[in-house]
């Protein structure tokens, strides 16, 4: 499976010599949500660290062991990051003196499950849960006998120099800014399977939680603990407070969240007394999706922002002081009351220390998540995007608030320098962002607690680094949706792209079957980020289509490719009008589909003119029964697949064989095709990729084939083998635009003016990091016009917006 040598970039992409002479390399512009702010106030991605680099350091654990990064802290000099890893029961250490190149320093084993970490001078304060079942097979369990310790670890020697018994199960640790105190939230969490008053998981379930105050005067041997009683304060289960999170301001006042109790407590650490307490209250959330429909064969429903929720308990999780007077809460929710009502208001709230609400985000944060394509439909009924973490940082005279969405793998960056928060950016993260920490020099670190290996998929736990003013060539999100009727157009899982032969600055995209309804999207690429201006439903919301390719016809309408799933759902070439009405469904020949697998049609390209010489091409992702199978020609060979050619005027299918690249990833996996696009010279650009992501990704390539170089043949006979030429290896481009190389490069489009755009599929933020990459490939190019007939205004699209 050899390939010819690469040609010059512009020639490889089919531009003519005159075009090369006038080509101008287009600059990549930093994308912002706040157009008024310069890049010096924006966070750019500067590095990522996979926790497996630490767990495998020195052979401590095999690569297959799940690992994680939950809570995080950084030494005052900014050189050392520490994080808790409950999978390996250890404390991870990373040298971040050069954030683009974080260096693993290994793990410190711990005698229990770590729950939180804070740094004081040269020591790491690590809380561990040591709860154990006191009576074996008896009626009690670890929830009935909670216990935990605070470990004091000398970071210079990595030795545990003191262990303090906490008297209960700890959850969060905070160290005061001036280093005088630490506070440890002792949750003594409830057993969600225990029945109280006939209902599972209800409070009260003694013993009650409380707050431990640690006086940090002197050396660790002199430190002392004082317990603060928090009972009798909350309206919900006052006898059983469950402290979740704690933060301390410069006045040594701690704010403590009692999440399940929906209550907030201010504690004066100097006196170890409660200074104030108040209910977290209720919030109204308008125009959100609060229903998990089970439509379509994948039961994934639709994202429909048409429901209102009134009087929802906020139930804050993380909390962070903005200044000595105000603090912010992430209102995740974690409790279902005796009436079956859940809490969690899907956003964040800013309180003052007197208990007054100064700002309520309502549904605005969730709408921002939807607009960026990060909404996890599977959580619609269960707290939506589920904000869990908040952190505050100060840099350059500005105060930033970070809000982390646990289920959508994204962090909102808000400027809270003035009273009203202003959304500045959305930053992609690993799965389940848990820990947030910003240094004095403008570095933001985000840890992620989920490792896909624990649940049987490939996305590993990753720590991401963002720097104010860093990496100005990086921006996120790269694709957002406009508002229609007051809410953003919902979208996820972009699975195919196509240019528009008439309209400048327009690209068409499709989504696959992750949602029950397949969609066609009109994308405006005249600005950064690109904007989805319209969506058009294709077919009914019954999961009948799995759209993987789109091509705009010259006289209106579209050709779409729908991937089949064996006898369950056929592979289809679909013709529609501009409104998305299905005019024709064309199946592949029966002799071919007799040997089909679930890896079917993965792209559509069209050449020629309707009613004259129109030809549609499709690619099949991976080998079917009559192809050369993976491994037949050697241990790492990927076999062959097919390019299909459909002649519209005759309705005739013919095919050619395409040889796949050998597998190169140490993780194995497979190699297949995921897109086909017509080039301006009449040839085809084909995306070939492996199914690996992150550190295991190897093959993300775009090849050119000349369909006129062979005679496509009917299926059933000998098929010609088509040769391929490498156009671009885009793995470095994908890496530069992402926090981790994605597995699914599934879209390539060429605009009327010759600009080339790439897109990736984020799997609906399900078992994936959730990034959608959508960017212009950095090529030397000039606009091209195959014909002089399309010099008028852009074509006016027909049909309704939704």
Q: Strands 195-196, 159-165: parallel, antiparallel or unpaired by DSSP?
A: unpaired
Instruction: Give tens-digit pLDDT for 603-653.
Output: 999 999 998 999 999 999 999 999 999 999 999 999 999 999 999 999 999
DSSP sequence for 275-340: EEEEE--EEEEEEE-------TTTT-------EEEEEEE-----EEESSSSEEEEE-----B-TTS
**How many residues are there in the chain?**
802
Q: Are 494 and 518 in contact (CB under 8 A)?
A: no
Could you give phi then psi for residue 536, rounded to 5 degrees? -130, 125
Residue 716, both tokens: 């059933």
Q: How far apart are CA 532 and CA 509, in angstroms?
A: 9
Tell me, rounded to whole angstroms, the distance of Cα 350 from its chain centroid: 26
Query: How would you label 484-508 residue by residue, b for 16+ Cβ within 10 Å and e otherwise?
Result: beebbbbbbbbbbbbbbbbbebbbb
Query: Cis (ω within 30 of 0) for the bond into 207?
Result: yes
User: Mean pLDDT for each 10-residue chunk of the chain (802 residues)?
Assistant: 37 43 26 47 95 95 96 97 97 98 98 98 98 88 95 98 98 97 98 91 97 98 98 98 98 98 98 98 95 68 92 97 98 93 95 98 97 90 88 96 96 95 97 96 96 92 96 95 96 97 96 92 97 95 90 95 88 97 97 95 96 96 97 96 98 98 96 97 97 97 98 97 98 97 98 96 93 89 38 41 39
Query: How would you label 585-608 residue by residue, b for 16+ Cβ within 10 Å and e otherwise?
Result: ebebeeebbeebeebbbbbbbbbb
Q: Strands 348-352, 326-330: parallel, antiparallel or unpaired by DSSP?
A: antiparallel
Q: Are 437 and 391 in contact (CB under 8 A)?
A: yes
Q: How far apart are CA 83 and CA 71, in angstroms?
A: 6
Instruction: Give tens-digit pLDDT for 52-65.
Output: 999 999 999 999 99
Q: Are 231 and 208 in contact (CB under 8 A)?
A: yes
Residue 91, both tokens: 């404390």
Q: What angle do CA 389, 237, 197 make, to 5 degrees?
A: 115
Q: Strands 479-481, 530-538: parallel, antiparallel or unpaired by DSSP?
A: parallel
Tell me the whole-structure pTM to 2 decimals: 0.92
Q: How far apart are CA 624 and CA 620, in angstroms?
A: 9
């Amino acid at each position: 499976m050899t390939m010819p040598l690469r040609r010059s970039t512009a020639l490889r992409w089919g531009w003519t010599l005159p075009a090369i002479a006038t080509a101008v390399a287009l600059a990549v512009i930093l994308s912002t949500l706040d157009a008024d702010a310069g890049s010096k106030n924006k966070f750019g991605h500067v590095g990522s660290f996979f926790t497996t680099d630490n767990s495998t350091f020195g052979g401590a654990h095999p690569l297959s062991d799940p690992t994680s990064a939950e809570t995080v802290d950084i030494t005052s000099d900014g050189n050392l990051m520490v994080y808790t890893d409950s999978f390996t029961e250890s404390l991870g250490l990373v040298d971040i003196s050069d954030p683009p190149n974080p260096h693993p320093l290994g793990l410190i084993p711990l005698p229990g499950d770590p729950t939180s970490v804070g740094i004081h001078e040269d020591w790491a304060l690590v809380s561990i849960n040591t709860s154990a079942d006191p009576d074996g097979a008896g009626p009690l369990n670890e929830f009935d006998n909670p216990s935990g310790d605070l470990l004091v670890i000398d970071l210079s020697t990595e030795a545990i120099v003191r262990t303090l018994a906490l008297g209960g199960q700890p959850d969060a640790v905070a160290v005061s800014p001036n280093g005088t105190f630490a506070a440890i939230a002792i949750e003594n969490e409830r057993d969600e399977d225990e029945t109280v008053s006939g209902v599972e998981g209800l409070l009260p379930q003694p013993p009650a939680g409380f707050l431990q105050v640690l006086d940090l005067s002197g050396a660790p041997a002199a430190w002392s603990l004082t317990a603060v009683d928090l009972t009798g304060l909350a309206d919900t289960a006052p006898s059983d407070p469950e402290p979740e999170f704690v933060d301390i301001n410069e006045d040594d006042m701690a704010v403590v969240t009692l999440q399940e109790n929906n209550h907030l407590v201010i504690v004066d650490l100097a006196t170890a007394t409660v200074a104030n307490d108040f209910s977290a209250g209720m919030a109204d959330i308008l125009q959100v999706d609060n229903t998990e429909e089970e439509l379509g064969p994948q039961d994934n429903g639709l994202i429909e922002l048409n429901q209102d929720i009134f009087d929802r308990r906020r139930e804050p999780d993380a909390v962070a002081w903005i200044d000595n007077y105000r603090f912010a809460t992430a209102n995740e929710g974690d409790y279902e009351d005796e009436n079956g009502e859940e809490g969690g208001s899907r956003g964040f709230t800013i309180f003052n220390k007197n208990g007054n609400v100064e700002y309520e985000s309502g549904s605005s944060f969730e709408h921002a998540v939807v607009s960026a394509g990060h909404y996890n439909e599977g959580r619609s009924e269960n707290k939506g995007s589920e904000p869990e973490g908040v952190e505050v940082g100060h840099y350059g005279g500005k105060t930033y608030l970070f809000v982390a969405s646990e289920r959508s793998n994204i962090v909102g960056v808000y400027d809270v320098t003035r009273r009203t928060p202003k959304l500045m950016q959305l930053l992609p993260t690993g799965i389940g962002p848990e820990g947030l920490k910003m240094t004095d020099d403008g570095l933001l670190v985000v840890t992620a607690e989920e490792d896909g290996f624990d649940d049987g998929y490939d996305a590993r736990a990753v720590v991401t680094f963002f720097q104010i003013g860093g990496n100005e060539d990086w921006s996120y999100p790269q694709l957002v949706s406009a508002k229609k009727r007051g809410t953003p157009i919902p979208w996820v899982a972009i699975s195919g792209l196509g240019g528009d032969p008439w309209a400048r600055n327009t690209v068409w995209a499709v989504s696959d079957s992750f949602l029950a309804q397949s969609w066609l999207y009109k994308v405006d690429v005249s600005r950064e980020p690109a904007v989805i201006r319209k969506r058009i439903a294709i077919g009914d919301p019954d999961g009948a289509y799995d759209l993987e390719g789109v091509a705009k016809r010259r006289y209106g309408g579209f050709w779409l490719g729908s991937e089949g799933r064996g006898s369950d759902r056929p592979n289809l070439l679909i013709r529609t009008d501009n409104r998305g009405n299905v005019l024709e469904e064309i199946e592949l020949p029966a002799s071919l589909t007799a040997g089909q697998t679930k890896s079917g049609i993965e792209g559509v390209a069209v050449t020629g003119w309707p009613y004259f010489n129109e030809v549609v091409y499709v690619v099949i992702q991976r080998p079917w029964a009559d192809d050369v199978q993976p491994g037949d020609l050697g241990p790492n060979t990927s076999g062959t697949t097919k390019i299909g050619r459909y002649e519209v005027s005759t309705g005739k299918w013919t095919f050619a064989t395409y040889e796949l690249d050998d597998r190169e990833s140490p993780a194995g996996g497979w190699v297949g095709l995921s897109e086909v696009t017509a080039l301006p010279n009449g040839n085809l650009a084909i995306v070939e990729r492996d199914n690996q992501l992150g550190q295991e990704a190897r093959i993300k390539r775009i090849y050119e084939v000349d369909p006129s170089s062979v005679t496509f043949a009917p299926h059933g006979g000998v098929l010609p083998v088509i040769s391929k030429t490498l156009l671009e290896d885009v793995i470095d481009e994908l890496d530069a635009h992402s926090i981790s190389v994605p597995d699914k490069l599934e879209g390539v489009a060429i605009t009327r003016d010759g600009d080339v755009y790439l897109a990736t599929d984020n799997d609906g933020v399900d078992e994936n990091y959730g990034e959608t990459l959508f960017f212009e490939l950095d090529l030397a190019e000039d606009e091209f016009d195959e014909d002089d007939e399309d010099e008028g205004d852009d074509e006016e699209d027909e049909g309704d917006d939704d």
